[in-house]
């Protein structure tokens, strides 16, 4: 418990001083893999790529058509000649044409066939420019990590993913290819999960036999899988097994250094696929007493826990508000610009200023003073995006305690439904909250005494399908001093 708390403390601190969380170095370029917004941009890149290749193919087709047409004329003449070559060649014009054809035309055709067509090259020249917009190997690595997280959180096996089966969310048309499996196998070596790597290699080989590839392509792809597999075995000094894959005598194999890249990924200890929500004796009610405004517009409130005090508000933010927020250029720009790579939270976030109306809403929901509260933070989780177990409080020592105090409460608005996955879980109190557009979760991170509440440990499960947008507001302790009682070692809300 202590170590988790400590890690989360570092995480929060990093967030506070605007450093990437976790222990990695700041990476300026944002990864595509963890954000839906960035993935959508990739669709444009693919559009460009397809358009250019199509234009290239059109030009090649014209060339082909021209060659084919000339071939027809040539072969007709050739056949004619062969049917009665004595008569044909007896005509001096024909013999001249034959000599000329073979001397000049073939050379011309040969040159034409080999010449790279200038027009076609225009399209191919775009490829290097496009490279800047293509995903990098880091992006691919993060995407692999996303899939890997899904697998461990939801206990999925390679053959389920290959068949497009994601923890009961079945999409066979999104099945993985043999190359995808190979990439995931190589990634599994990197993260030292060698059994998983072998499982991916096996799946890749099985997939290859299903794909209708030409023999050459099949052989080439098989060889790539076997080479990677062989290298893995060589690394483990299993030279005889390795030789079966690499097709070499074991004595010829020298164990090469395989560079291993260890990532101390911190995973949630509890499995996200379990349903933690215990039957509740708590209830739903209309809140019409927090502020004068809630008297005229009561809020739908469902209590989830008393320690920590936790409620969910339903329909507390309008669809129109959500839509305008998600469509605002401020939001999109901030997502793109404020890049950070985090091994702790695989998602993109940004700070949203000037959402006064929503801030008043939070005040109505909580009855708390919004002075000194932190700016809203908008997070977008894409493929496998998740946030490992953490606390939201900083747990400052007294000397370090900020003027505004610690994060007393968290309000988490869900800005959309998630097709599958992406729940917020509180494993210690067995609470799971499924994102629902327009609802907001409120909980207190501190006891009334000001002590941190360790039961608030929480995490965001990986998104299996779709994307997740949440807006977080952290409300600080100090401005509440005249409205919230400070009860030494007591929790006002506990049962």
Ligand X SMILES: O=C(O)CCC(=O)C(=O)O
Applying the rule CB under 6 A, the residues between 406 and 445 that interact with ligand X are 412, 424
**CA–CA separation, 223 and 204 (whole Å):** 11
Phi and psi at residue 421, in whole multiples of 5°? 80, -170
Question: Among Fe ion, ligand X, none, what does residue 342 contact (CB within 5–8 Å per kind)?
Answer: none
Q: Which is nearer to ligand X, 231 or 470 (CB)?
A: 470
Minimum CB–partner distance for residue 218 and Fe ion (Å): 48
Binding mask 320-359 for ligand X (x = CB under 6 A): ----------------------------------------
Residue 460, contacted partner among ligand X, Fe ion, none, CB below 5-8 A by kind: ligand X
Binding to ligand X (CB under 6 A): which residues in 368-407?
Answer: 379, 387, 392
Which one of Fe ion, ligand X, none interacts with residue 12, CB within 5 to 8 A by kind? none
Residue 362 interaction partner, one of Fe ion, ligand X, none, beta carbon < 5-8 Å per kind: none
- 31's contact among Fe ion, ligand X, none, with CB below 5 to 8 A by partner kind, is none
Residue 229 partner contact from Fe ion, ligand X, none using kind-dependent CB cut-offs of 5 to 8 Å: none
470 binds, among Fe ion, ligand X, none (CB under 5 to 8 A by kind): ligand X
Query: Between residues 161 and 464, which has the closer beta carbon with respect to ligand X?
Result: 464
- Give the residue from 472, 482, 486 showing the smallest Cα distance to 368: 482
- CB of 329 vs Fe ion, minimal distance in Å: 27
Rule CB under 5 A: which of 379-438 touch Fe ion? 392
- CB closer to Fe ion out of 234 and 457: 457
Which C-beta is closer to ligand X: that of 176 or that of 310?
A: 310
CB of 200 or CB of 413, closer to ligand X = 413
Q: Please identify, using beta-carbon distances, which residue of 221 and 410 lies nearer to ligand X.
A: 410
The minimum distance between CB 470 and ligand X, in angstroms, equals: 4
Number of residues that bind ligand X (CB under 6 A): 9
Name the minimum Å distance from CB 305 to ligand X. Answer: 15
365 binds, among Fe ion, ligand X, none (CB under 5 to 8 A by kind): none
Compute the least distance from the CB of residue 312 to Fe ion, in Å: 15
Of 34, 132, 151, the C-alpha closest to 387 is 34
Cross-strand pairs, 169: 166
Rank residues 196 and 470 by Cβ distance to ligand X and give the closer one: 470
Decide whether 198 or 374 has the Cβ nearer to ligand X: 374
Q: What minimum distance in Å lies between the beta carbon of 424 and Fe ion?
A: 8
Task: Identify which of 182, 266, 270 has the alpha carbon closest to the alpha carbon of residue 229.
Answer: 182
Q: Name the binder of 472 from Fe ion, ligand X, none, CB < 5-8 A by kind.
A: ligand X
Q: Which residue is nearest to Fe ion (CB)?
A: 392
Beta strands at 376-381 and 468-476: parallel, antiparallel or unpaired? antiparallel
Instruction: State the binding string over 440-479 for ligand X (x if CB under 6 A, else -).
Output: ------------------x-x---------x-x-------
Interaction of residue 233 with ligand X, rule CB under 6 A: no
Contacting residues toward ligand X, per CB under 6 A: 379, 387, 392, 412, 424, 458, 460, 470, 472
Contacting residues toward Fe ion, per CB under 5 A: 392
């Amino acid at each position: 418990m202590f170590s988790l708390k400590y890690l989360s403390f570092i995480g929060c601190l990093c967030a506070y001083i605007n450093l990437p969380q976790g222990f990695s170095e700041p990476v300026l370029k944002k990864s595509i893999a963890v954000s839906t917004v960035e993935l959508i941009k990739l669709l444009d890149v693919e559009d460009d790529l397809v358009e250019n290749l199509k234009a290239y193919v059109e030009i090649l087709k014209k060339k082909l058509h021209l060659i084919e047409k000339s071939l027809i004329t040539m072969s007709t003449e050739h056949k004619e000649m062969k049917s009665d070559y004595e008569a044909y060649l007896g005509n001096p014009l024909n013999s001249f044409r034959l000599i000329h054809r073979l001397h000049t035309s073939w050379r011309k055709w040969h040159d034409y066939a080999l010449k790279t067509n200038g027009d076609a090259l225009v399209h191919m020249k775009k490829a290097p420019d496009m490279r800047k917009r293509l995903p990098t190997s880091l992006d691919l690595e993060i995407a692999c990590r996303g899939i890997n997280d899904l697998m461990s959180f939801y206990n999925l096996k390679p053959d389920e993913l290959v068949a497009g089966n994601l923890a009961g969310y079945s999409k066979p048309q999104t099945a993985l290819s043999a190359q995808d499996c190979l990439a995931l196998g190589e990634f599994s070596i990197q993260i030292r999960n060698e059994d998983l790597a072998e499982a991916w290699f096996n799946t890749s080989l099985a997939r290859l036999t299903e794909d209708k590839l030409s023999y050459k392509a099949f052989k080439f792809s098989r060889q790539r899988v076997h080479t990677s597999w062989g290298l893995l075995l060589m690394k483990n000094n299993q030279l005889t097994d390795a030789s079966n894959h690499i097709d070499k005598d074991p004595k010829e194999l020298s164990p090469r250094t395989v560079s291993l890249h260890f990532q101390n990924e911190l995973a949630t200890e509890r499995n996200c696929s379990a349903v933690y929500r215990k039957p509740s004796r708590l209830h739903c009610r209309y809140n019409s007493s927090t502020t004068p405004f809630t008297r005229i517009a009561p809020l739908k409130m469902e209590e989830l826990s008393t320690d920590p005090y936790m409620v969910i508000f339903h329909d507390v933010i309008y669809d129109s508000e959500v839509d305008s927020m998600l469509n605002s250029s401020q939001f999109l720009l901030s997502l793109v610009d404020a890049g950070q790579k985090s091994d702790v939270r695989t998602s993109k976030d940004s700070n949203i200023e000037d959402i006064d109306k929503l801030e008043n809403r939070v005040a109505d929901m909580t009855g708390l003073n919004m002075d000194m509260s932190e700016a809203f933070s908008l997070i977008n989780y894409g493929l496998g995006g998740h946030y490992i177990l953490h606390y939201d409080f900083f747990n400052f020592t007294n000397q370090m305690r900020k003027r505004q105090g610690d994060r007393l409460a968290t309000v988490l608005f869900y800005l959309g439904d998630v097709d599958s996955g992406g729940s917020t879980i509180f494993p210690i109190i067995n609470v799971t909250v499924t994102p629902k557009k327009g609802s907001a979760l409120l909980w207190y991170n501190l006891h009334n005494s000001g002590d941190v509440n360790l039961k608030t440990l929480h995490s965001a499960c990986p998104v299996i399908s779709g994307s997740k947008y949440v807006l977080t507001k952290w409300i600080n302790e100090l401005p509440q001093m005249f409205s919230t009682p400070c009860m030494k070692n007591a929790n006002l809300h506990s049962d």
